[in-house]
Amino acid sequence: MNPEALATAILAVLTPIADERRPGEPLEITAADIVLERPRNRDHGDWATNIAMRVAKPLGTNPRELAQQIADGLTAVEGIASVEVAGPGFINVRLDAAAAGALAKVIVDAGEAYGQNSSQEGRSINIEFVSANPTGPLHIGHTRWAALGDAIARLLAASGAMVAREFYINDAGAQMDRFAASVVAAAKGEPTPEGGYAGSYIADIAAHVVAERPDLLSLPDEEQHSVALELAYAYQLAEQKQSLSKFNVDFDVWFSERILHAKKADGGPSLVDEAVDRLRAQGHVFDHEGAVWVRTTDFGDDKDRVIRRSNGEYTYFAADAAYYLNKGDRGFEHKIYLLGADHHGYVHRLKALAGAAGDDPEKDIEVLIGQLVSVGGARLSKRAGNIIEMDDLRNWLGTDALRYSLERSPADSPLSLDPELLQKRTNDNPVFYVQYAHARTHNVGRNASDSGVDRSEFAPELLTHETEAALLGALQEFPRIVAFAAEVREPHRVARYLEELAGLYHRWYDNCRVIPKGDDPIETVHRTRLWLNDATGQVLRNGLDLLGVSAPERM
């Protein structure tokens, strides 16, 4: 019996009690409103609920009295061993061994689908993250957002949402001109221009550009600039894509900022031009001193924003507006932005923009701000000179250790990674601890096969050891953990769950044998325990996959 089935059973018992106490006034709750929690002390049962305390007042009764009525009704439900009332009205439910143990077969039969749920079904979500300028290599800050953004997208997809991972390419504006000028200067062997990009990676790009266009330096200055810009841009963007792919992060959409500023093929207005008109139609645009403004203060912004200056030039806010509207035009009703620690000022601005566009700022847009991350002993990039590169971190610590460690802490907390710990093959290293538990399940399976133990029998009522009850209880929680982590955008909840599950598995392994001792015969309990072993391996594997981390079969 899973939590959903238990909640349904509680509702079935509660409904006639409520009807008797309030004839003609149905109690408007659903099974989803019945909160079930795992008691900290397993002596108190498998599940606890406070539903009696929540509904006693509207039913005009004492919470403990109502809890006892519900408890009496639940004792007749198949799969429930006992029900007790505690404190002011908590209901503690203990499942019988067969009902609890049946989960092992459910998980093995479900395979990769176990943990998937429908909590986000019907939602179309665009999640934008990393979005670095194509003017240099990805750095440690991008690395944190790459891990978190991808994990959030995986969780949302596992919860039924239609998800698109999107990278916004900042390929318009002054930074691109400075980038091109820096590459041309490097090709000529000249110093980096003022405000330009330094580092040996620029020299590498210049060498690539010259190899592509040997006639570069013989071109007129203006043409040198444009040719260098396009070739250098394409080269650097390809490097970023390759870095992300090696980090197990692949985007569905690479959106060029240039698209927003480009005139239509028929000479019609650009998306930025149209954005001003669309916001004006919503009634939130006004003209002042020759400039065009958006009245974002109507939606909580600290000041109104200029969208087009008096000289006719658009501001960055104009591109933000056009981009936001374009996401909606592409069918995404919910937009998630993952921004760095230096972008706090964007939160109110983007939410106000959603409001000005006619959307609900509290529902249709979400802005997550990540805090800084540091790595003890990490060296600045030799190529870039002033950053710690993603590729250097990945080569040093490994994709699995780096992703897992970046995802096991909340995004809004500063994070300092210990490279010495992350390279240890001991239980002190969280990712090793979880991966080792998964590898151990496969080792048990291999040894079981060699010993003649298979899954030809399944008797869940035999899974009665206290470590089995604890392990089954944790396995049952996985779909709820996935759904909740998706809802609150917190992959670290999955990581911490996996660490707890790994600990419970290791304790079970120490206490319950899958393979008989010596010449003892193979019994049904051994075959049944193999189901539990394999179920645990499946959940560990599914959880690691949600984090973009591998699940090795041998370690």
pLDDT digit string (tens) for 470-487? 999 999 999 999 999 999
Q: What pLDDT score does 40 carry?
A: 75
Between CA 80 and CA 12 the distance in angstroms is 14
- What CATH number corresponds to the domain at position 336? 3.40.50.620
Mean pLDDT of 389-394: 94
Q: What pLDDT score does 384 carry?
A: 75
Residue 383 in this model has a pLDDT that exceeds 80: no
Report pLDDT digits (tens) over 91-104. 999 988 888 899 99
Other C-beta atoms closer than 10 Å to the C-beta of 184 total 24
* pTM for this entry: 0.90
Mean pLDDT (the chain, rounded): 94
Q: Where residue 344 falls among pLDDT bands split at 50, 70, 90?
A: confident
Length of the chain: 555
On whether residue 436 sits in a domain, the answer given is yes
Q: What pLDDT score does 46 carry?
A: 86
On whether residue 382 sits in a domain, the answer given is no
Residue 66 in this model has a pLDDT that exceeds 90: yes
Q: What pLDDT score does 99 carry?
A: 85
Identify the weakest region by mean pLDDT among 180-184, 411-415, 437-441: 411-415
Same-domain check for residues 30 and 70: yes
Same-domain check for residues 158 and 274: yes
Report pLDDT digits (tens) over 289-308. 999 999 999 998 889 999 99
Q: What pLDDT score does 378 carry?
A: 86
- What CATH number corresponds to the domain at position 16? 3.30.1360.70
On whether residue 434 sits in a domain, the answer given is yes
Q: What pLDDT score does 367 carry?
A: 95
CB 444 within 8 A of CB 514: yes
Q: Where residue 39 falls among pLDDT bands split at 50, 70, 90?
A: confident
Same-domain check for residues 349 and 430: no
Identify the weakest region by mean pLDDT among 360-364, 377-381, 534-538: 377-381
Domain that includes residue 509, residue range: 101-119+425-546
Between CA 430 and CA 372 the distance in angstroms is 21
Same-domain check for residues 260 and 145: yes
Same-domain check for residues 268 and 228: no
Q: What pLDDT score does 377 carry?
A: 83
Mean pLDDT of 20-40: 86
- SS3 for 430-482 is HHHHHHHHHHHHHHHHHHHHHHCCCCCCCCHHHCCCHHHHHHHHHHHHHHHHH
Q: What pLDDT score does 238 carry?
A: 97
On whether residue 298 sits in a domain, the answer given is yes
CB 351 within 8 A of CB 382: no
Same-domain check for residues 157 and 180: no
In the chain, the number of structural domains is: 4
Same-domain check for residues 430 and 514: yes
Residue 524 in this model has a pLDDT that exceeds 80: yes
Distances (CA, A) of 37 to 50, 51, 183, 221, 324: 9, 11, 60, 69, 39
- Cα 460-464-465 angle, rounded to 5 deg: 135
Of 480, 474, 497, residue with least CA distance to 35 = 480
Same-domain check for residues 439 and 478: yes
Q: Where residue 340 falls among pLDDT bands split at 50, 70, 90?
A: confident
Question: What is the distance between the terminal CA atoms of the chain, rounded to a whole angstrom?
Answer: 34
Same-domain check for residues 113 and 219: no
Same-domain check for residues 52 and 111: no
The one-character DSSP state at 508 is H
Residue 385 in this model has a pLDDT that exceeds 80: no
Same-domain check for residues 178 and 153: no
For the chain, percent of residues with pLDDT exceeding 90 = 85
Q: What pLDDT score does 205 carry?
A: 97
Report pLDDT digits (tens) over 225-244. 999 999 999 999 999 999 99
On whether residue 294 sits in a domain, the answer given is yes
Q: Domain end: 373, 404, 438, which one?
A: 373
Backbone torsion region of residue 495, taken as left when φ is above 0, otherwise alpha when ψ lies between -120 and 50, otherwise beta: alpha
Q: What pLDDT score does 2 carry?
A: 79
Same-domain check for residues 237 and 306: no
